Amino acid sequence: MIRTICIFCGSSTGVGTGYEEAARTFATLMARRRIRLVYGGASVGLMGAIADTALAEGGEVVGVIPRALVDREIAHSGLTELHVVETMHERKAMMADLSDAFVALPGGLGTLEELFEVWTWGMLGLHAKPYGLLNVDGYYTPLIGFLDHARDEGFIRPAQRAMLVVEDDANRLVEKLSSRRAASLFG
């Protein structure tokens, strides 16, 4: 059972209007299902939107932010819990430890790096937590095509590629994550 989902997403809202709306919809879904939200701790961009919405819906929101980014990403001061850590490595490790699953909403390099790191950790057998993409308005479609190409070319095993859950509907994504465990390179 998934009780906590770690969300990776942008510290900006992007240019498409659907991104912030999707983040708020996902946050509402989580709060109504009583799924605790773990995220990067910022009050801006999609990160701020998802945190504000989950809190407004009565949800529990835990932020993890490195000290160096407290001012730059404008740490959210109204969270259920805010953990200030020293490094990005500590941030990602704590977010992973606190979570039962991982979801990437639209975002930039940091979002991708966080997703690929937990995916790699899962493939190496360091955790058995599911992970997925919420493909808002086709945002991740080019990336999904590349991942399929890497699988077809033999650089990603079919079982590992299949473990990345991709959905454009938040409800279906959460349902699929609830029925998955990560596949490792060794299992």
Query: Each residue of 62-97: pLDDT tens digit?
Result: 999 999 988 786 899 999 999 999 999 999 999 999
Q: Is the pLDDT of residue 182 over 70?
A: no
pLDDT beyond 60 at 171: yes
As a whole number of angstroms, the distance between CA 63 and CA 105 comes to 16
Q: What mean pLDDT do residues 113-134 have?
A: 94
Residue type, 55: L
Q: Which CATH number fits domain 4-178: 3.20.20.70, 3.40.50.450, 3.90.180.10, 3.40.640.10?
A: 3.40.50.450
Hunting for tokens 């953990």 — which residue is that? 83
pTM of the model: 0.94
Count CB neighbours of 11 within 10 A.
20
Q: State the virtual CA torsion across 69, 120, 100, 176 in degrees, nearest 10.
A: 120
Band (pLDDT 50/70/90 cuts) for residue 1 is confident
Domain residue limits, the chain: 4-178
| From 5-9, 41-45, 138-142, 183-187, the region with the lowest mean pLDDT | 183-187
**Would you place residue 181 in the very low, low, confident or very high pLDDT band (cuts 50, 70, 90)?**
low
